[in-house]
Structure 1
Amino acid sequence: MTVDVEDYFHVSAFENHIKKNQWEGLECRIERNIDRILDLYRQHNIKATFFTLGWVAERYPALIKTIAQDGHEIACHSYWHRRVSSQTQSEFAEEIIDTKKLLEDLSGQEVIGYRAPSYSIGKESLWAHEVLEKAGYRYSSSIYPISHDHYGIPDAPRFAYRPIADSDFLEIPITTSFLLNKKFPAGGGGYFRFFPYFFSRALLNRVNRTDQQPGIFYFHPWEIDPDQPRQCNISLKTTFRHYLNLNHTEKRLARLCSDFRWGRMDELFLSA
């Protein structure tokens, strides 16, 4: 179980609509939404991994400490939510090193996990794995093995693999599942809001029972917040993707928490 800790105005789909220098003046709703998520996990005795933006951590340090004190893993989601593919290797290295230190200082945990904003480690930026390993990370969860207009490596491995020769560093892709010989995204996000719940559950069950693999699920705190400020002058496609079924997500998450057993990324993949 994973959470990408970012607010509604951080999403890549809004990057040409909301500039970074506007972030400070916008209503931030991350605290109330994370509190609801933590309450849900306490009810179901779930420990999760929180891939956290440095921008959020620096402004809400008490929130990071609370997540860590609840027994969850703190991992890195970059500082500025910039796509890996838009950075040079040196820019990327500087950001992940600085954000790692920030998160470790606030949480009291070693930060060993990373998730690229918008799953932006693509075929042209696979160098990021070696940069991450050199910076002290032990795994990434940054590749979605699907076709999407903004991200995805359709022919990437579906389950955890070692992308660097002679290294224990892991890439742990977001979950996909096959149904009638067609591959479907099964790992959460907008797809979890788009598909009926029974379909998402069936895909994850197939991964557990047929593939005998753990499923990697993710969502964002703003996805349980139908009352977030709505953006104007955005495309119909972006409006559909961002706001679809926000009023149903929290109830679906509660069912997901009951229907499956969940754990932290580091404990599931690195403890062995």
Structure 2
Amino acid sequence: MQNILTIDLEEWFHANYHDDVFDPHKTYEVRIIQNTKRLLALFAEHQAKATFFVLGSVAEQHPRLIREIAEAGHELATHGYAHQLIYQQTAAVFKEDVSQAKKRVEDIVGKSVIGYRAPSWSITPKSIWAWDILEELGFVYDASVFPIKTYLYGLPTSPRFSYHPQYNGRTLNLLEVPSSTVRILNKKIPFAGGFYFRALPYPLITRGIKTVNREGHPAIVYLHPREIDPGQPRLTLSPKENLIHYYGISGCEKKLIRVLKKFKFTSVEGYYGL
């Protein structure tokens, strides 16, 4: 069975923990090119396809990299323009941010962008209005829902697997593709990306993927280019945020290689035939 591989294409300093993590007036070291090229090489070696959720500002700065991803046969989707949390934006600001990001990628690759993922999974109970705007803008699917509650994000009422969400009393045509979880003692437990992928041992990750597959669904694996880069500069974070952001990075690439060897992967677009 094929699973779904996704990459949030952003730099090492894009984070939403607190307001002063990223200073737009500073010049930061560029790491995304080398890290993305490494991911592309790994995916080619293991015949895996992925969806790259591209930050609009990254597309603007590195159009050649975006074209290289497209030429390798991967799906290009959008991650918004400026990596801002949806629930901290007005509907008008959100619409402008996403429209700008969508157009930026489309202009580079000459193909419609049909998928979106919010920065930091920021479709929450107070920002589900974003679904309606995404559908209005022509998106076919969204992959912004983390179906458990965390201190920063989460929509705990979400189903575990893909569905068409409801908003203002109607069922949307937009397909929601939530992050993967397994159910343990009637609780949804994440395992397949980011901190969870880095922190959990390989046997638990493979067990989670197999469990989701036995239920008849693809596992949604998600990573960021920085997560295979132990040599990246470090942000000034609280102990909790430092743990979330950096724990397990030294072994992440090796773990990813093992997962790529064991399972087959395609893009969101490829899996659902969109």
Is TM more than 0.5 here?
yes
1:260 is aligned to 2:263: yes
Aligned to 1:88: 90
Distance 1:30 1:70 in 2: 17
Structure 1 unaligned blocks of 5 or more = none
AA of the residue aligned to 1:12: N
Distance 1:212 1:71 in 2: 26
- Secondary structure of 2:113's counterpart equals coil
Partners of 1:163 and 1:171 within 8 A in 2: yes
The CA RMSD over aligned residues, in Å, is: 1.3
AA of the residue aligned to 1:49: T
**Range with greater deviation from structure 2 (166-175 or 95-104):** 166-175
1:6 is aligned to 2:21: no
Aligned to 2:118: 116
- Specify which of 173, 180, 183 is matched with residue 175 of structure 1: 180
Distance 1:216 1:5 in 2: 16
How many residue pairs align between the two structures?
267
Distance 1:45 1:14 in 2: 38
Aligned pairs for 1:123-162 within 5 A: 123-162=125-164
Kindly indicate whether structure 1 or structure 2 has the higher relative contact order, using CA contacts under 8 Å at least 6 residues apart.
2
TM-score (norm 2): 0.94
Q: Which runs of 4+ in 1 moved over 6 A?
A: none
Deviation by residue 1:179-229 (Cα, 9 ceiling, x = unmatched):
3444210231101111111111111110001x1111111010000000001
Q: Which has the higher helix share?
A: 1
Distance 1:166 1:176 in 2: 24
Aligned pairs for 1:27-66 within 5 A: 27-66=29-68
Partners of 1:48 and 1:73 within 8 A in 2: yes
Aligned to 1:225: 229
Partners of 2:51 and 2:77 within 8 A in 1: yes
- Secondary structure of 2:220's counterpart equals coil
TM-superposed CA distance for 1:166, in Å, is 4.6
TM-score (norm 1): 0.95
Deviation by residue 1:68-89 (Cα, 9 ceiling, x = unmatched):
0000000000110000101111
Aligned to 1:244: 247
Aligned pairs for 1:13-24 within 5 A: 13=17, 15-22=19-26
